[in-house]
Amino acid sequence: MTAIGNWLRERFPISGDQLRELTNEPVPNHLKRWWFCLGGTPAYLFVVQIITGILLAFYYESSPDRAYESVAFITNEIPYGWYLRSVHKWGATLMVAAVILHQMRIYFTGAYRKPRELNWMIGMCLLVCTLTVGFTGYSLVYEQLSFWGATVGANIADSVPVVGPMMKEMLLAGESYNQQTLPRFFILHAAVLPVLMLLLLFIHISLIRMQGITELEFDDEDDEKPRFFNFFPDHILTELTIGLVLMIVLSALATILPAAMGPRADPLTTPEVIKPEWFFYVTFRWLKLFSGTVAVLSMGFIVFVMFIWPFIDGWIRRRWPNSEFSVWIGILAVFAIIGLTVWEGAVAH
């Protein structure tokens, strides 16, 4: 054993102590409560998505002639194919929910403030990537809603002034949905976006390690006691417990509500009702409330404001140091998001 240890140490000249020093982040006490460490949940689900996604990709065929049949084959013929597909689908839903909850906790605890503004922006890129990976994923099944959802998405991109037509053409690999569209979605979904997310996650976690996690003050805290605990083994055990609970929830959802198949895509028949996945309800309702370009531009503006929010908030706090403006904006935004989502979910059109 020592011979192997020595051999490895010569090749990787880093000691156990150095490795521990690098990774053993001091964790503030409030992270003992699971709702403060919601960032680990999307990270865990991302790994689940990569593993189940690779297994699904062994059988998935990305041409419009074969895509629907290959998904049906995975669902009905491959041993445990239905389970893998259902875990992947529920994993996507839970991951989007977890990213949104994590972002809300960051927002309402002010953890995006100086010096973490750039990490908030990296987080926003992760949010956009998560939503885009969801959008491209639902398009891959090539059922009616996949096809028409992608077509509506491309038309929305088209209504952006100046660059719109180019964006639509880049997304669809042509002026309209064609033989190359699905392979393009597949490459975006299974290669470009996951690699980009890995890169962003690496920067996100490295920045957290360098800056540490924001310390929060609680009234019931004993000032005499240490304010931090160790990442190993204390925090990793919390994360492992969350991971175990998630795996049980995912398996239960996949078994009780397995992923089904809608009717095959028919480019000549527009369905009476076109609905995206629940996490796009808010965007969809917004687009219905305002007309084409106004809706898209206002949406772009809101996303831009979200991106640079730490700087806007910093400016507000410099002018009005005790203002609770950000909290009220946050509450308003949460109500607006829930309201628009429920509205879109409740109506047929």
- Residues lying near ligand HEM in the complex (CB under 6 A) are found at 37-40, 42-43, 46, 99, 102-103, 106, 111-112, 116, 119-120, 123-124, 126-127, 130, 201, 204, 208, 213-214
Least separation in angstroms between residue 202's CB and ligand HEM is 11
Nearer to ligand HEM, 111 or 145 (CB): 111
Distances (CA, A) of 220 to 148, 217, 224, 287: 54, 9, 12, 46
184 membership: H or E segment, kind and range: helix 181-187
Judge whether 228 and 22 are in contact, CB under 8 Å.
Answer: no
Residues making up the chain, counted from first to last: 349
Kindly list the distances between the CA atom of residue 244 and the CA atoms of 83, 205, 297, in Å, as whole numbers in the listed order. Answer: 17, 22, 42
Instruction: Rank residues 124 and 154 by Cβ distance to ligand HEM and give the closer one.
Output: 124
Q: How far is the CB of 228 from ligand HEM (least distance, A)?
A: 13
- Cβ-contact 290, 298 below 8 angstroms: yes
Distance, CA of 323 to CA of 328 (rounded, Å): 10
Least distance in angstroms from the C-beta of 100 to ligand HEM? 8
d(C-alpha 315, C-alpha 312), whole Å: 5
Residues 326-333: contacts with CB within 8 Å, 24+ apart?
A: 326/107, 326/110, 327/108, 330/104, 330/107, 330/108
Structure tokens at 106: 């960051």
Q: Give least dist CB 39 to ligand HEM, A.
A: 2
When the beta carbons of 6 and 211 are compared against ligand HEM, the nearer one is 211
In this complex, which beta carbon is closest to ligand HEM, that of residue 27 or of residue 150?
Answer: 27
The nearer residue to ligand HEM, 213 or 254, going by C-beta atoms, is 213
Give the nearest distance from C-beta 299 to ligand HEM in angstroms.
17
Question: Which residue has the closest beta carbon to ligand HEM?
Answer: 123
Looking at the Cβ atoms of 70 and 326, the one nearer to ligand HEM is: 326
Give min distance, CB of 101 to ligand HEM, in A.
10
Q: Smallest distance, Å, CB 43 to ligand HEM?
A: 4
Cα–Cα distance measured from residue 221 to residue 72, given in angstroms and rounded to the nearest whole number: 55
Dist. CA 204–CA 134, nearest whole Å: 21
- CA 241 distance to own-chain centroid: 21
For ligand HEM, give the closer residue by CB, 202 or 290: 202
Name the one residue in this structure whose structure tokens are 């204390």. 234
